[in-house]
Amino acid sequence: MLFPSTLKICNASAGSGKTFLLVENYLYVILKSSNPEEFKKILVLTFTKKASEEMKKRIIQCIKSFSSKKIRKEDYLLFNRLSEDCKLTKEQLYERSIKILFSILHDFSCFSRNISTIDKFNYHIIRSFSSYKELTLEMNIERLLSNIVKSILHKLCNSEKWSNVLVEFSLEKFNNGKNWDISKELFKIARIMIEENHFFPINKIKGYSLEDFIQLKNILIKRTNKFEKECKKQGKKFSKILEKNFIYNNSFIYSDLPKFFQKLQKGNIIFNLFNERLEKNIQKGILFSKNSIEKNQKILIEKNKYKILSLYKETKHIYKKNISYYILDHFFLKNINILSIINEIEKEFNIFKNEEKIFLNIELNKIIYEKIIKDTFPKIYEKIGIRYKYYFIDEFQDISYLQWNNIKILIENAISENGSAIIVGDPKQSIYRWRGGDAKQFINLIYSYTNVYYKKLENLKTNFRSYEEIVKFNNLLYQSLSKIFNITVHKNIYKNSKQKIFKKYGGYVELNFVKYLDKVKDYKEYIYLKIKNRIEKLLKQKYALSDIAILVRNNKESYFLSEKLVKDGFNVNTSVSLLIKNHLEIQIIINVFYIISNPNCYQKRVVLIFLLLKNKFIHIKKIKKKITNFIIDILFLPLDLFLKKILLNNSLTLKKLYNKSIYHISEEIIKSFHLLNKHNSASIYSFLDFVYRFTEYSIIDFIYYWEHKKEKESIVISDNINSIRVMTIHKSKGLQFPVVIIPFTDWNIFSKKKEVTWINVNPNLYHGLDTIYLEIGPYLKHINDNKIRNLYEDYLSNIKFDNINLLYVATTRSIEQLILFSKLVNNKSSISFYIKKFLHENKIWNEKKNIYSFGKDN
């Protein structure tokens, strides 16, 4: 339980009951106090709205249960524990619960406000500043960025000062074999400017003018050109020695030495110049093979041996001395033009925000941080500090640096005044590094020393969620996966991740590998058929559709599976939108609308015919002639006759549609074309719901609005409907399901997405700039600087950590059954490779088997 002047840190593995722990501690605080309004002094911060709503619901349910003489069965154990911990009789606890429940209901807005997401809490703080009271919070960042890029391009292209910079940048991209259009680059740098991960370096660069960037660019070009010339000069020296003495390239023991100097001469100087064999031969002074070349060539090489070896050593010295600076300069030059526009983008941001009177959701943490810096402890923060005595923070591993620094002030202040705080997190579930979440903060908090407050660490190791076989499987799997990390911190997190089993006996895990991919024409289609069969088997085992969750890596996979399942008649509740516009029936209705509104729109008539034919709403056999002839015969007929020919039953006539609402017209089209069936009811009814909202519009007006809204209109499925959940792993965090299926467990352990970083440099070498912006790549490991090489190694380990964490979150959602499907590959960059390795280590792998199971399938 919480103690005064204490920061309690709970390292809570998946399924270990962290929500229960937070609720129990919350109830302890309010029941321990004789003040029924003690809840007003507690601030609970969660990462998602769903988590905050769950907390509120559980607290209210418990207090309501405690204030009743008939305590719910599931609350009885907690009631007794709290009675003992609070040193209250059951009657006293009952009496206090009644008073607390009355106080909460009397001021429910305060109770609700104090259990909030971090973003919502920050929003309320910012609205407390007078300068932000009249502003609106902008959530649609993509729209704003798109408008800013368009405006910037227009202004800069019409500016003599900037047009040269843009042209130069476009030409550089074109010469490097990339698209010359720089709008994507502008969009990328505009996004980077508002993302929290880039906050500090961007602030430094804002003070750098265009003239500064031009001067720096000239310095870098001069420096890189000088080094390139030196390398070419050394290459030419080698060629002259050979030419002058009639020595052939193929006379050397290997081609390594001639290739080395050829690369220098051609300017290929960044990677793979030196190899182990070349170095060994040079050190031993061996330049030719005694048996493989002509005698005169041996004499010539021997005669010039000293010159060649001296040239190599001289060249190597020049190269090693300058290459690290050259690599940084070379790759920074690729980004310098776009960085020079930062101040112009900043101006444009301010113009848009002032004109529209908005501030950005993505900037909440930065705004507060800057306010705190300007005023060490603003009056608003002082008020908050007085208001709250207890702090509860959930999912701490996903909190960003700025979020923690903004909240830390309040927590340290509360603890210093006899308050307390509880922080709950799990580094293994850190999957939001891309938006600022940093598991290292949680690890540092656990292990770092502080004399500001007393820390109490609690490890929650028991898994209350999953049955025995699932816990055992995960324990073994992640012990094995811990070995792939080079960084000790990441290795130890998984090495020490073993969980205790609460639900003994039962549970089922199945690994399915797809071998011989050359025989599988479409891997995704093949996996879908396997999933469909498994769902049908689960239904026979008496599972409901709502018991099944399919977890995927990205939205693309989610779209694919959701669409397939819906077409096959399954109810699907998905975390991605199933757009209405993608469904055949809706395309038919919209095409009929177009034809009715414009009878001479022959293009839409052709589209409609092909939609109907392709999906067997009309049949070639019934038509009894070639499709081209059929189209030509009916295409230019009056509309009534055209409809009669394609419907073959004359049920839809213009007379029936005359003077009717678009909702009525939609119903007539659905009825006449027999569009509604058990497989498409969700898309049809969602479309009709959309039509109903615009029922007073004419068809022409409706089509106009449809074209503008269709990219956002999705199938609406109620949570109450018995349906399969299809969601990304990110969306599944914090949830649990009886059955979890992970269909594509073979994603790349090293993300292919290019990340960028900021590297600290000597300002004397970069015209006063002390940080430069680079895309992270393998070239960083060639730089002779331990900090930079360590940065690259950290980056690789972080990517691995992100992807293993994704797997951990996915495999720990299931209660009863966990089913995985994967390609069988020998590529060390695939998750599949490490699952196979785990089976090898545990002596389970068998080359002849495709399926491995743990426990008993029902």
Q: How far apart are the first and last CA of the chain?
A: 40
Nearest alpha carbon to residue 737 among 724, 720, 721, 747: 724
The pLDDT value recorded for residue 571 is 84
Q: What is the mean pLDDT of the chain?
A: 87
Q: What residue type is 204 in one-letter code?
A: K
Same fold, 6-134+373-460 and 508-578+721-747+808-855: yes
The pLDDT value recorded for residue 234 is 94
The pLDDT value recorded for residue 617 is 66
List C-alpha distances in Å: 531 to 174, 520, 521, 821. Answer: 45, 16, 17, 9
Identify the CATH number of the domain defined by range 6-134+373-460. 3.40.50.300
Using DSSP, state whether 786 is helix, strand or coil: helix
For the chain, what are the domain ranges? Answer: 6-134+373-460, 136-356, 508-578+721-747+808-855, 580-709, 756-803
Q: Determine which helix (DSSP H) or strand (DSSP E) holds 325, and give its type and residue range.
A: helix 305-339
DSSP 439-489: HHHHHHHHH---SSSEEEEEEE-EEEEEEHHHHHHHHHHHHHHGGG-SSHH
Q: What residue type is 692 in one-letter code?
A: Y
Work out the number of other CB atoms within 10 angstroms of the CB of residue 289: 12
Tokens of 654: 């213009």
Alpha-carbon distance of 814 to 735, in angstroms, equals: 9
The pLDDT value recorded for residue 230 is 95
Q: Taking a C-beta distance cutoff of 8 angstroms, is the pair 264, 232 a contact?
A: yes
Alpha-carbon distance of 453 to 238, in angstroms, equals: 68
Q: Which residues of the chain have pLDDT under 50?
A: none
Measure CA 253 to chain center: 51
Which CATH architecture best describes the domain 508-578+721-747+808-855? 3-Layer(aba) Sandwich (3.40)
Alpha-carbon distance of 372 to 116, in angstroms, equals: 21
The pLDDT value recorded for residue 379 is 78
What's the pTM value of the predicted model, to 2 decimals? Answer: 0.83
- For the chain, state the CA radius of gyration: 34
Q: Report helix, strand and coil shares of the chain as percent, to nearest 5.
A: 60, 10, 30
Alpha-carbon distance of 121 to 115, in angstroms, equals: 9
Alpha helix locations (H) across 552-638? 555-567, 584-597, 602-614, 620-623, 627-635
Query: Strand (E) positions, 301-431?
Result: 358-360, 390-393, 420-425
Alpha helix locations (H) across 67-182? 76-85, 90-106, 108-113, 118-128, 141-157, 160-175
Query: Strand (E) positions, 161-258?
Result: none
Q: What digits encode the pLDDT tens for the residues 205-253? A: 888 888 899 899 999 999 999 999 999 999 999 999 999 988 888 888 7
Length of the chain: 858
CB neighbour burial string for 96-134, b if at least 16 within 10 angstroms, e if fewer = bbbebbebbeeeeeebeebbbbbbebbbebbeeeeebee
